Every structure is written in structure tokens, then in C-alpha cells.
Amino acid sequence: MNILVTGATKGIGKAIVEELVDLGQVFIAGRNEDALKALGFDYCACDLCDKSEILCDFILKKQINVLINNAGEYVYGGIDSMDDCSIERIYSTNLIAPTKLISTVVPLMKKNGWGRIINIGSISGVMGEANASLYSASKAGLLGLTKALALELAEYNITVNTINPGWVETDLGINSIEESNFSKEEIVECIPQKRFVKPQEVAKLVRYLLSDDAKGITGQGINLCAGLSVGI
């Protein structure tokens, strides 16, 4: 496998890289070149908001056949407080860039008769999140993309799935709490399992979806959210 993980330097992305290192050649991408270098993998430094074409060229050069779209942006605030820059940045990073990367990698996968595409979405794209409408909408878009592409690519032995984490113990998760009107304790109280998901749980699910045992799973949005999507 030639595996590309975007947003690979911390949180869920870093956990995925560490989990998949024995499955093939792992390539990583992110904005912070120093952090990428520190991980010791072949990397591509770019901002997916406005430089996704750099990573598209990297995909072709490295003959990627497993794409993990993990990089994402989160912004908290009412829709009436969102400026054009915020709107364009979150959609570009969370939905448009992954679509461009998929468009680039699919011909390689079709040629080889095999491929795996995994998008890291969010439970907010399944349920909606007040004051995070841009984030919720962009992640919901990934689910629609996943379903349609699964149908489009099934005959080529290419699977497409999205993992929807709930609250995860990452810098992004903690920072989003700080931006909200709630404390960590209040949020935990609303989660049925009364805990945050660990990044390693997401990484192990990614590993399973890459395995031959999971070849029949495609077009799915898998909620890994400690029961948050079920109710309280």
C-alpha cells in the first residue's frame, strides 16, 4: 500500500500514521513543515485551502492507492458572524480539497483495480451543531460524496467510507470547547459513555477498513462517537 494521510502531524492524523506504519509506505501531508519533518516520513507541506494542487502532484508522483482525508478546519460562531474568508476557508479545506484529492487518486486506483478512500468526517455532519454550521455542512457534504462515489467506484474494487468521530481528545477538540459556551464537564455529561473518544480508536477503525475483511463495507458513514449520535 502507498498510503497518504492528510493533517498528519497531530491528533487523529498522527494516530492514524502510527497505526498504519506497518501496512506499507506511509506518506504524510500538512501545513507545518517542521512538524512533518519531525515525524520522519516522506511528506508534502501545503495548505489545502489554496494549494491543494501541490498535493495532487504529490499523489501522482507517489502512486497513492490509499487516501485518508483527515485534514480539517473548525470555526465556532453564529452564521451571521461568518465573513467570506471563514466561509471559503472551511469549505475549501473540509470538502473541496478532499474532492480534488479523490479526483486525482481515482485514476491510479482504477488502473490498479484496487483502492481505499477514507474520509474523516464528524458527528456534527450527521446531527448538526449549533454555531458550527459551516463545519457541520462541510462534513455533511463528505457523507454525500462518500455515498455517491461508493456507487461510482464499486466495480473497480475501490471502497469509499467516512468515519464520523464525536468528541475526541485532541487539540482541535479541546480548542473547540474553549471557543464554545460549554465546559468540558458539561459536554462529557451529554455523551452517553461519559467520555471522549481516543484518537487511537479512530486509527484502529481506519486500519480495519483497509483490511480485506472490510472489502464489503463501502458508502458508509460510521459513527465513532461514544453513543452521541443515538441520543442522551
Could you list the active site residues? Answer: 135
In three-state form (DSSP H/G/I as H, E/B as E, the rest C), the secondary structure along 15-73 is HHHHHHCCCCEEEEEECCHHHHHHHCCEEEECCCCCCHHHHHHHHHHHCCCEEEECCCC
Question: Could you tell me which residues are beta bridge partners of residue 160?
Answer: 117
Contact 206, 224 (CB under 8 A): no
Q: Which residue has the cell 484496487?
A: 114
Contact 96, 138 (CB under 8 A): no
> Regarding beta strands 115-120 and 158-165, do their DSSP bridges make them parallel or antiparallel, or are they unpaired?
parallel
> What is the spatial distance between Cα 192 and Cα 194, in angstroms, rounded to a whole number?
5
- Residue 5: in which H helix or E strand, if any? strand 2-6
> What is the spatial distance between Cα 9 and Cα 33, in angstroms, rounded to a whole number?
9
Indicate left, alpha or beta for 77 from its phi (over 0: left) and psi (-120 to 50: alpha).
left
DSSP states along 104-122: HHHHHHHHHT-EEEEEE--
User: C-alpha cell of 71?
Assistant: 485534514
For residue 127, the one-letter residue type is M
